[in-house]
Amino acid sequence: MLGDAGVPGEPLFSVMVVGTRLAPFRVASVRVNSARPGWSCQRGDNVAEAEASRRISSSRSSQLPQLPPHPRPTIARSPLGLPFLIISYYKVLMRRAGKHVYAVVTGDLVDSSKAPATDRDRVLKEMRSVFRSVETDIAGLGDFQIFRGDSFQTVLEEPAHALKTALLLRCSCLLQVGLDMRLAVGVGSVEYRSRKSVGEGIGPAFTLSGHSLDEMRDPRRLVIATQDDAVNSEMNALTALLDAVVDGWSTNAIVTVTKRLHGKKQQAIADELKISQSAVNQRLAVAHWWAIEAAAERWHTVADQLTRKT
């Protein structure tokens, strides 16, 4: 039933609710409560009351009051304004980035200055080809940035892949560019990573990688530096032995090991090289592939331990 809008407790209008076989037809009468703003609902008695309410409602529809506008929610604002919010959000991102352990790989070509200037374009082209081939096999490997002519840097989100990445880079460079590489892997937290430039990164991983490359002396070609002195001592010995092993590889050994690092099985390698599977096995034995696998497995374990410490 429709009553005067200003009379509290008077029904404003009624709505018929269609029932089912399990419930009879009922009516909901909506009333205005002036003591407590809002709408209150009361069930009617039967369908007849609904019909009477409908007839009265149609005769007084012009008296139907407008509903009060719903209040808009208010948003609390920082007294210091938007810059304060941006800085606070940036600090949160910095803290989150610092909790993850990354591997930063910095390297350069050995004796690249001895190459003729006319060969410079070819070297850079082959370097980019090497980077692309490695990126396809290593999960979480960022883009490579070349700087100072023959130096480069990249970031690995999974430090456990750092040793495989370094070996792939060195072998591929020896085959495609014809020059050797020096590689320094820094493992640690990263406080800031730039989307535009790898070299703009900030954090212990970048510092360890850059300083290790600057301090590297012949005949070393690979160094892994972390924030743990005990791990550094072990990795220094392990990478020194790896350097000695790789230095003794022939071109055939480098080709075979590179394909094995890419995850290819011996029979697949034999088919590509058009040699027997036993010949592939012999090349891997001469290259001390078993020692490479043992070193990679040990580094994987150490990297997992370093990651869990954070």
What pLDDT is stored for residue 197 in this prediction?
A: 72
Long-range contacts of residues 52-56, Cβ cutoff 8 Å, at least 24 apart: 52/1, 53/1, 53/2, 53/11, 53/13, 53/14, 53/27, 53/29, 54/14, 54/16, 56/1, 56/2
Q: Is the peptide bond before 79 cis (omega within 30 degrees of 0)?
A: no
Give the model's pLDDT for residue 204. Answer: 96
Q: Phi/psi at 49 (nearest 5 deg)?
A: -65, -35
Would you give the end-to-end CA distance of the chain in angstroms? 69
Rounded Cα gap, residues 100 and 132, in angstroms: 25
How far is residue 193's CA from residue 153's CA, in Å, rounded to a whole number?
Answer: 13
According to the per-residue pLDDT averaged within each range, which of 31-35, 50-54, 181-185 is highest? 181-185
Domains of the chain, earliest start first: 11-63 (no CATH), 100-249+287-308 (3.30.70.1230)
pLDDT at 21: 43
Q: CA geometry: angle at 251 spanning 246 and 252, to 5°?
A: 105
Give the H/E segment covering residue 164.
helix 162-176
DSSP secondary structure letters along 280-298: HHHHHHHTTHHHHHHHHHH
HEC profile of 197-216: CHHHCECHHHHHHHHHHHHC
- H/E element holding 217? none
Q: How far apart are CA 67 and CA 12, in angstroms?
A: 12
Structure tokens, 91: 């600090």
Beta bridge partners of 41: 30
CA distances from 143 to 33, 153, 199 (A): 67, 8, 11
For residue 260, give the nearest of 235, 241, 288, 229 by alpha carbon: 288
Q: 209 and 153 in contact (C-beta within 8 Å)?
A: yes
133 burial (CB, 10 Å; 0-12 / 13-18 / 19+) is middle
For the question of whether the overall pTM of this predicted structure is more than 0.85, the answer is no
By mean pLDDT, which of 22-36, 124-138, 149-163, 222-236 is the weakest? 22-36
pLDDT score of 133:
93
Could you write out the DSSP letters of every residue in 226-275? -S-HHHHHHHHHHHHHHHHHHHT--HHHHHHHHHHHTT--HHHHHHHHTS
- Per-residue pLDDT tens over the stretch 124-141: 999 999 999 999 999 889
Predicted pLDDT at 71: 54
Q: Answer whether residue 20 shows pLDDT above 70.
A: no
- The pLDDT tens digits of the residues spanning 273-285 come to 999 999 999 999 9
Element housing 24 (H / E) = none
Average pLDDT, integer, range 225-245: 97
- For 32-36, 69-73, 226-230, 296-300, which range has the lowest pLDDT when averaged over its residues? 32-36
Distance CA 284, CA 266 (A): 9
